[in-house]
Amino acid sequence: MPPPLLLLFFSLLPPADGRGELRAFVVAHSHMDVGWVYTVQESMHAYAANVYTTVVEELMKGKQRKFIAVEQEFFRLWWDAVATDTQKQQVHQLLQEGRLEFVIGGQVMHDEAVTLIDDQILQLTEGHGFLYETFGIRPQFSWHIDPFGASATTPTLFALAGFNAHLISRVDYDLKADMQKNKKLQFVWQGSPSLSERQEIFTHVMDQYSYCTPSQIPFSNRSGFYWNGIAAFPDPPKDGVYPNMSLPVTDTNIHLYAKTMVANIKERAAWFRTSDVLWPWGCDKQFFNASVQYSNMDLLLDYINKHSDEFGVTVQYATVGDYFQAIYSRNLTWEIRDSQDFLPYSTEPFQAWTGFYTSRSTLKGVARRASSLLYAGESFFTQYVQKHPASSICKCGALKQLQSLRWAVSEVQHHDGITGTESPKVKDMYMNNLMYGIFNVKKLMASIIFDMNNAKKNGEVYSSVYNKDSGIPGATDVDQYVVVYNPLAWNITTFVTVSVSHLAMSVYDELGLPVPAQVQSSVESHSTYDLYILVAISGLSYRKYSIKALNGKQSAFIGRSVKYKQKDITRADQESRQLLPVVNNCYQVLFDQNTNLMHSITERETNQTVRLTQEFLEYHVNGDVKKGPISDNYLFAPNASAIPVSKAVGLEVVSGNLMTEIRQYFYSNVTAQDYVYAVYTRMYTIPEGYDGKLLCHRIEQEYSVGPLELNREAVLRTSTNLNTRQLLYTDSNGYQIQKRPFKAYMNNTVARNYYPMVQTAYIEDDTTRLMLLAERAHGVSSQGNGQVEVMLHRRLWNNLQWDLNYNLTLNDSSVVRPVIWLILGTKALTNVLYRTSGLALEHRPVVMFGALSEDKPKLPRQLQQNSVHGSPVTVPPNLHLQTLSIPGWRYSSNHAEQVHSVRAGKQKQGDANFSRALLRIRHLYEVGEDPVLSQPVMVNLKSLLNGLGSVILVEERSLTGTWDVNTLKRWKWKTAQYPSKGFSNSTETSENSIVTVHPKEIRTFFVYFQGQ
């Protein structure tokens, strides 16, 4: 023990670890799900509008009171439809005083597992644009308290948006306990290996109490600290008395309340390195009566502070920013976390939240289709506005059409939206909003084509986006044509499919030259045929093809069908194996005629053969809580190993000069008439003169799955002879790849080894890789060496009272039709192919149909106008033009000016700003991933966009557009790697609009054109 004098000296020093008297930051919040159990309209009526109305009123009554606002969809609905002018003035004042703080600032709190990075950015940009235009403010902290697991893409996203700190909560229960014990709930996260410290962010993981106030109070059987009770649906009670209102604070119980709160603060303080304690006050749907909330908490906080010597704690109302500012000023050195994520997520041994990776597959598919159509519509409209300033289309109306889809795609990214964890009526709300937006954007694109072709009034343009069911109508006396738009900034060669009513068809381009095409019987209908047209289109351009029904030498190739005998796979003769080859320039695929199943694939360039079989299996799950763990919208809890579903397989091969389609039908037994499962595998042969590299190297599979029996989870398992050591790789939100080694657990090992696949998954051995590319999210796993299985569909019912009360049982009786592209080859080859292929699947060309009776053939000179502009927009293959749009926000890109005009009240409704285009460019590769494609790329933005018009000004901005990157100074947190604290500056820009894009960067610009 040191001598007494030394002891005294020690006690005078400030505590080295930032400890001392505990300080609790009481953060008032309401977690408002944009969907989930109730629709947005129901929530607005029952409680959400009242949150903002009463919170604003109460904050005005007490200078010490604070509140954080999160989801912008609810706030904007309140602001536009409910708030009075007085309330709007008060919001401005509270924001200036720092007592109301917007955190995250996106439309929703997006899911992190099954969303695409483009859609995360969209919903964040949508909310940030509103906040900056309306208030001149830019959120700087995250509050991701409820998504089910945490992705490593999110910290990068928030760093790029200018955030200073990130906050998450739901991570594995056993991991959280460990982090708590070792005071490791806070760290600096380098979510991207390539961007590393440049886009790192301080991250706080909430402790075991998560985001809701602990409600147990020893002196009452009611919950504590929830003085307004719980929200009532459908109508707020007339008398203001809500269920389960906590005991009001009185002289007799205030000491007991204080003791309970202080005890909880002290318990939590032991899990963190500083004496600052984040104490969330609120939960789901709270603060709809803020008056009773604050009047009780005021008394309690005052009491604790008056007795702080006795309690050893001081308390204060705070925002998230106040808390992080306190931590930052402690100047501690923090550990670095690498790019490993926190997925999957389990809440206890038999509760693995890996079911939602697949739940409501149809909604997941429509959400992605909508996102892809929006991407196409945005660039189409942007080009149109630049090229046709005197257009006949009302630009404001067009922007509203695009905004309806921006809003719908943003909304469904909510963590109870695209996840499939909502009630049926909320799923219908998302679907209706998406379909309405899709309809609007299709209509807009069709009217732009119509306008640019100066079509006669009797011509009709109707649009459909690669939907086989909305083909050309029966009339064949007028010319049918299809307009095909390529939304990617690369030249593409691919097939588009059109439904036609005759076998004998011919296809011609704008010059009247024949176009390679193939027509064959349709998979989906006996009365129509599928016409496959080979299209070659340059970046961000469209082409017009006319389709004529006739019998002549110009006619399209006809696919001939051969049906093979159905095979009983349980009794297949292994000795006399007969193999049926299907070959194109890149692959030879063999089918085993004893079973009608796939046998192997040979990559022809290297002559490498991989044994490969595919089968459908089902996991049977329990629906009775009395009998054990259950599966539901969220959870996957299989009873045992998956069981093969079919005993017999039918085979039909449709072959033509351009394409071979292998149709496999899986029957439960030899006598069954109907099938629940089918696979349609397509391989393409590309004629001379076309660039067929991507097209030839993909084996395209479309599945038909359903309707399932109850409590079945359907997977497609692909088994190979690759020695993968059960190591799987999956993508993180379509942005980067995560390594997924198989882990053995005491319980629930199957479910805890499922991971989200948003766009990509692969397995490999030392030489060969098998890649899967998807157009919607799925759960994926490797349950055996050389295996990869994809969960395609789930249909569940259980008797858990909570699930029944909220109608969350997932009785999904639909048939789903997902598509997966397979790519097999060396690592070097697949590296070159998979990023561009994944985007080619995500952004397939947009097909619009029309019937025009034209008097005379077009002349070649007029032909040039058929591209939306004179010259195409193309970027190198390692870059992706991620955004080209006209956001329409009216804010000034000069911050001082913007703040001035907001404070001067000049931000009144005006016309949207059409002169500013938003451009994002993303580097697709990691550092060191490929010797050529991982290099930085120099881009001249003026020449890139030359086809749209003359660029007069380029400004580099933060990810969501609200910061000038030259003025963006994020907090730099001290780490062992970087011992000095300070501000981090993001990127270097050049004056003359030449930028160098480094691996994994996403660069955002405002672009202004001449004459706008």
- Tokens 């996403």 correspond to 1002
Residue 71 to residue 52: CA distance in whole angstroms: 12
Q: What long-range pairs does 592-596 form, CB within 8 A, spacing at least 24?
A: 593/564, 593/567, 594/567, 595/567, 595/569, 595/649, 596/564, 596/566, 596/567, 596/569, 596/649, 596/650, 596/651, 596/664
Give the separation between CA 473 and CA 470, rounded to whole angstroms. Answer: 8
> Would you state the torsion angle of the CA atoms of residues 622, 629, 145, 794, taken in this order, to the nearest 10 degrees?
-20
Contact 123, 108 (CB under 8 A): yes
Nearest of 987, 1009, 1006, 989 to residue 162 by alpha carbon: 987
Say which of 33, 118, 119, 146 is annotated catalytic: 146
Gyration radius of the chain over CA positions? 30
| C-beta separation of 752 from 346 below 8 A | yes
Indicate if the alpha-carbon torsion angle 210, 213, 216, 221 is positive or negative: negative
3-state secondary structure of 663: strand
> Do residues 739 and 727 make contact, with C-beta atoms less than 8 angstroms apart?
yes
Active site residue 146: yes
* Cβ atoms of 166 and 142 closer than 8 Å: yes
Between CA 164 and CA 167, with CA 165 as vertex, the angle to 5 degrees is 160
Sign of torsion, CA 440 960 832 779? Answer: negative
CA–CA dist 116, 118 (Å, integer): 5
Locus of tokens 């068809």: 505
Q: For helices 117-135 and 85-97, what crossing angle results, to 10°?
A: 100
Contact 300, 248 (CB under 8 A): no
Pairing relationship of beta strands 677-684 and 313-318 according to DSSP bridges: unpaired
Tokens of 254: 């205030």
- Spatial distance between the Cα atoms of 203 and 179, rounded to a whole number of angstroms: 13
Calpha distance 730→772 (Å, rounded): 9
Q: Of 518, 521, 546, 549, whose CA–CA distance to 534 is shortest? A: 518
Q: Tell which residue, 541, 544, 532, has the closest CA to residue 482.
A: 544
* Residue 414 bridge partners (DSSP): 110
Q: What is the DSSP letter of 324?
A: H
User: How many CB atoms within 10 Å of residue 431?
Assistant: 18
Cβ atoms of 211 and 31 within 8 Å: the answer is yes
Token match 């007085």: residue? 86
- Residue 69, token pair as written in the block: 């606002």
- Which DSSP letter does residue 806 get? T
Do 314 and 305 contact (CB within 8 A), yes or no?
yes
Structure token pair of residue 338: 């690498």
Give the catalytic positions in this structure.
Answer: 146
